[in-house]
Structures are given as structure tokens and as C-alpha cells.
Structure 1
């Protein structure tokens, strides 16, 4: 195993929340797939806005409004570069991945998908990439189809081929499974969908913290992700869409900012991206979003991914010796997520015992109940690693796991 050259101790110092005790033990934070922690530069960017620049954007000519508007739009440019969008105007700010998917369903879906048309998702999807399409299908009388998974938690692409047809209007899949860490072959999925004339939405919530995402190279039509997964604030995300599609789609919400002119006889909508950004946005958090992406770019996503893979391999090596350990999701291509069960121990009980030892893991169905049903389980324990985690933490976690199991086996 080739070890990365990142200075992890230096990186850890950037995250103030890590340096505390929980239940009398040093915090070990292994719930990164749910949300990542925030470096000081992100916290500083947020407080700086409220301390010095707080003003509404786009509509004011005073100094604070102009400073806030400039900082807000600089984040849009940064997100565009982060995804390699063709232009910043293809970036729409949202509350997060969930709202981005719902926006596409409510606008593109309602306008371009009709009765008898088909939408394809996968069995690996988060509820936020299932329920909006179920709502649309009920309303429009279209059909929802699902790509199955194999016992390793990998998509069965031969079955995907059978689902595709000229009736397929949209394929919406995640890049990386939040529940299992499976990295999906999104390029192949996109290419095959385009071959039958379908559009593709990629849920990149779990991908952007771990992998370089290039929307132009991928050719996806839409892509959504959340700031809080990639060291940024909560309540903020971005939706990428190709310009031609965004311009053809109706507004998502009505109100201020998304209009050019309003009269009682009719309304003229604003240009993209503002057509989809009604009302006062989460200004401070959007501005701090830029600081998060700058931080990631400074470390380097390739370096982050290599180190996290190193942590994953180390964890798998140690966990293999744990009595009753049963991994759920053993795909050949995985992000830094270990989802597992311990024979005879309920995941919730295990999660509580680990919390008593200062270890934060996620237990439950991970907003992926249909996937859990496929594996015939209620849920799992999920440990998910980030660049600020260490091998020492993983060793402590495994030792705590072993001692917890002994307690349950008495």
C-alpha cells in the first residue's frame, strides 16, 4: 500500500470541532457520509459575512449590497469551475441535493415527461432520488423503472440495457451510494441513456467530496450536490444543468429575483440562473460554500481520494478479524464507506455503545429503505471516513467494536 504524503495532523487542526471529548472520550467522527465537518476558513467566511457585509443581493446599489452580491456570484463561478461547467450561468443555487432533484422533477419532468413515458432510477438511490419521481409518475401517469443490484451492491448493467427504450425520457442515478459506498459506472450509464435519447441527472452528493466531477466530460444533463457533504455549510447546494435545458424549463417557484417584469396581466421571467432562484437565498452560507471548495482545491481532490482509499483498505483489513462482522456492500469500486452488521447485535444498540466511547457512526436504513429490503435487513452500521480521519482512529474504532461485541455476547 502506497501511503499519501498529506499532513493529516495539519489538516485536523483546521477543524475545530474535532478537538473535543464526547462522553469523556476523544471524538472520533465517522459519520461523514451524513455531513462533513467544517474547516475554520468556512466558519470564518460565514461569520465575516454577517459581521461586515450582511445585505440582500442583486437589488441594492449601496456598498454592502454590492459586496454581498459580488461574493455570492464569485461562489457561482467557483462551483462552475469545480464541476467544469461550460459557464457559471449553468449553476443554480438550491438548499441541497434534495431540492435540486425536486426542481428537475417539478420543471423538466412536468413539461417534458408525459403519460406512458418512462423514468429509470437504481436500487441504490437515496429517498430524495426516489420519491420525487414517484410523485411525478403518479401525477403524469408515467412509469418508474429500477436498475437492480447484485449481492455485492453493484448495479446490474445488463438489466439496465433491457430497461432502456425509446420511451425512456430520464435516467436519474447517484454517482456514489450513500448507504454502501458503491461507485457507479456513471459514464456508461450516461452514454447508454443518451443513445436512446434520454436525459440524465446525476446525484453527486456523495461524489463531490471524494472524486473529481467534470460535467462536460461526463456529458450529463443535470447534476446536483450539497455543500455540507464537501466541508461547506448546511442548507446550500448547487444544481448544474445544460443551458438549453434550463432555458426551456419553466420556473420552479415564483417571487422576487426570478422575474424581469410583473404586471397583473402577465409576468416575464428572468434569465438563467436567476429564473430558478426565487426569493432571498441563503446568502452567507452560499458565500462560505466558496471557502469550502477553495479548501478542497488547495488539498487536491486526487490527494483526498487516495488517502481516503488508504483508510478504507486499512479498515477492511482490521474489520475482517472482528467476530460476526458482515459487510453489506462489497463492490469492487467503493468510496470510503463501510456498511456492516454484527451477527446477533442490533445496529442501533451497537451505535449507542460506540457513541458512549466517543465514536460517531450512523445506524439505520440511511434513507435507502428499498435497498435495505433487497438485502432483507432493517439497516446497517455505517462508518464513513474523511480526509481528517486517521488510522489511529480506525484502530480505536475496531477495538471498541470488539469490546462492545464481547459485552453483547455475555
Structure 2
């Protein structure tokens, strides 16, 4: 999505206006470049490591392979990919407004971020709708793993279609002293295709999904915090309610963080489309770098949020980064190792049932003959009684 900046050069002026004199007015002093480089590289390091660990935690543990977590895998993949392929490249271009990476990567650089952001935010939207169906309509059938994968594939198809115009119209141009990468939009008078496209993108990858998620989480929040199931005060119900609330809290924090990080970015580029004269000042380069850093930083916060608000993700991170996990995390780590944990639980359950059945049979054998029992003391309905006990 950072490639929206590249439809013009010099931070808001047309390529042909202020950039033809062979003098690059946007060269920064070394200390500024070093500070911005450290800031942008920290995003890449935290985002890539954190999101790769999130993907491993979910895919390597069967208990973590839920519908919600499959969408979180897609979210983590999109964010890690955007960090790897666009964050540093965009910084290198924005520092001096000079493109060093050739025409092929120019197309990819303009194309991929929109697709990645679309996939990210609609993965979050899918999680919100899944939580809504699970909590508001618990009796309806949930998505299967196959249906979830199909939905994820559909999200990426729509993402690539939305981003395709930026691929189609990307171009590089050699100016005196430097090369620029920009989007050469067609001139369809009296229709301004560029403005229509950017407004549509802002609506589709920001405003619309946020409205959907806001509605879904509002309904879920009212159900979980304001509503109670009459007569159901069991410990099991309370545990499930607490678990559901934790998941919803975590996802609300994820969505709120994403919205806060990308709001200045979308505001910046919408203003640029309708008030371009505001962006002809040299200081707008620093504004752009700050706005872009905040937007790109959204890719590194989710793993931190998962670690802080979800015990299973926390146990997974401790397994990766701690040779000896703290004692307080031992139970969480045991729960994370799903196959052995599940086998133990099933074996315990079966043993308990067998012990109950044997105890019932012994008690019945010790009773005196009763009407309905045979002369040898055995039940005249042994088959049906045994079935009902299990």
C-alpha cells in the first residue's frame, strides 16, 4: 500500500513539475537517514520474527488449528511478506526519492502492498464474523477447515484483483540525475480515474471492513458482557465465557491497533488527491516518512498482542525463545503440546468410565435378588443397562 506514494514524486508534486532540473532537493543529512533506517529496520526484524513464530505455533500444534487461527495464519503471512518485500524498499526510495530497483520490482512494489493489506484486514474481518457466528448463533454449523482454506484463497484472489490496476499502470522514468517509480494513470476525461480508484481502495480496505468488524464485535460484546444464560451458573460455563471474552478482547485490540496505525496514512493520501498544493513543501518528506513508519509498524504489533493476551501463544513464544521456560508457564506448555495432552485426557476419561462400569457391576452383584433379576443375580436386561451406563 506504500506504493500509493509513487504515483507522484517529490512527496506530492507531479513528476514533471519540480523534478526536471537535475537537482534532487530531497537528499537528507546522514544522521536523519541513520535514525529513519534504524526505525524501519526494527519494524522488519520484529514483524518477520514475530509473525513467523505465530505461524509455527498454529501450524505445528493441532490444538491451535481452529478456524480463527487459520485466519490469523493468513494475517501473519501477509504482514510478514509486506515487511520483507516493501518496508525497507519503500524507505530506501523515500529517503532520496530515487528508485534503484528496476522496472520489474517497481510493478511489484506498487502492486503487492495493496493485496497484502486487503488480505490482512479481511482476515481480521473473517475472524470477527466467525466469533459472531460462534457466540450469537452457536447452533449453526461452523466453517470446516476446507471451507476456511477456500475462503482464504478467495480473499487473496479479490486482493490481487483490487491491486491489479497499480501493477498495470506502474512505470519508471529517468529524470536528470535520477530515476523514479510511479503510476502513470490514464487520462479519462472528464472522469478522474486516479481519484476514483484511491477513494475506492480507502473504502474497501479500511472503512468498510472496520464498520463490519465494529458491528460484529459490538453484538458479541453485548452478548458476552451484558447477557447471561438463565439458570446456567456451572463452572464449565463460566470458564467458557471467560475464554470467549479473552479471545474477543484480543481481537478488538488487534483491530483497534490496525485502525489507529493506518488512519493517518489514508488521511494523508486522500488529502493528497484533493488538496495537492498542501504537499509541495519540502518538510512533507518527513511527514510522509513518519506516516509510513506508523502504517508499516502495524505489521509488528500483533505477535506482541498475542503474547500478552493469549496464554497458548505465550507458551509457544516461550518454547521458541526460552531454553528453560519459567515454572509458571509449564502448564501452558503442556496444553500447547496437543497430541500427548489429548491422549492423556482421553485415556483418563476412558479409565474413569471403565472404573464406573466395574464399580456398578460389583455393586449390582452384591445386591440380593430383586424382581427383574435372574436367579443367579445377573440383570435380566444386561445389554441395555450396560449401554446406558456408557
Normalising by structure 2, report the TM-score: 0.25
In proportion to residue count, which structure has more helix? 2
In proportion to residue count, which structure has more strand? 1
